[in-house]
Amino acid sequence: MNYPLSSFRRIMLAGSFIAACWSLISCENSQSEMDVWTKKRAIPEEAHDMQSFLSQDGRLKAKLTAPLMLRWQNGKSGQGDTISVEFPNSLHVDFFDDSARLESKVDSKYGIYYENLAKVYLRDSVLVTSVKGDSLWCHDLWWDQNRKLFYSDTTAVYKAPGRDIMGTKGIEATQDFSTVTFKYPIADLKNNEEGSVLPQ
């Protein structure tokens, strides 16, 4: 079939336009697919059955043991967050005083240490015990390495010889439990010699 030259040009222009549009659409889809493949991904360093010691000014401050450690160089999101060390399968920490004597212990099912902040976040069945016999239980807990302080904004239960205290709005306690402050205590119970509980 013969087309006049002007009709042929119109057909060619229309075909070129459609091809250009299709190319743009294809490039857009390809770019989104490429973004998925080339997106920076955080890949952690991994260690199993690890044991780590924390010292400050040449003195032993803590000893940590955990079945699995993941160290994230750029944070878990890979977007330049603070360097973090994650313990997804539980951890145990022994804390020592300035004379390297055991002061308290911490057990938790999950923990993450933020290196640049010098803080540890613990969650899921967190239990802190001291050599004096005190214990602190809460769902989640922060430990400030520089201030040697435990703190939480959730329900906490503190037990000392002869006394149980519960609070719903969190707690702040020094690492050796010499000072324990509840933000909103709802019960302060003391055990008498017969074992019954007396309100305070």
Per-residue pLDDT reduced to its tens digit, 163-188 = 888 888 889 999 888 888 888 777 66
Q: Which of 172, 95, 169 is nearest to 132 (CA)?
A: 95
142 neighbors 152 (Cβ within 8 angstroms): yes
User: Rounded to whole angstroms, how far apart are CA atoms 141 and 90?
Assistant: 14
Question: Predicted confidence band at 90 (pLDDT cuts at 50, 70, 90)?
Answer: very high
Asked whether the predicted pLDDT for residue 98 surpasses 60, the reply is yes
Phi/psi at 148 (5° precision): 55, 55
For the domain covering 45-199, report its CATH number: 2.60.450.10
Summarize pLDDT for 13-59 with one digit per residue, the tens.
565 656 555 554 544 556 666 555 555 556 788 999 989 888 878 88
With a cut of 70, say whether residue 120 has pLDDT above it: yes
Q: What's residue 33's pLDDT?
A: 60
Contact 49, 67 (CB under 8 A): yes
CA atoms within 13 A on the CB side of 195: 0
What CA–CA distances, in Å, run from 138 to 43, 64, 74, 122, 156?
31, 20, 29, 10, 5
Domain boundaries, the chain: 1-39, 45-199
Residue 137's pLDDT is: 92
Exposure string over 74-107, b if 16+ CB within 10 A, otherwise e: beeeeeeeeebbbbeebbbbbbbbeeeeebbbbe
The pLDDT of residue 44: 82
Which of the four pLDDT bands, split at 50, 70 and 90, describes residue 97?
A: confident
Planar angle of CA 36, 42, 44, nearest 5 degrees: 145
**Does 101 have pLDDT greater than 50?**
yes
- What H or E segment, with its residue span, contains residue 46? strand 45-56
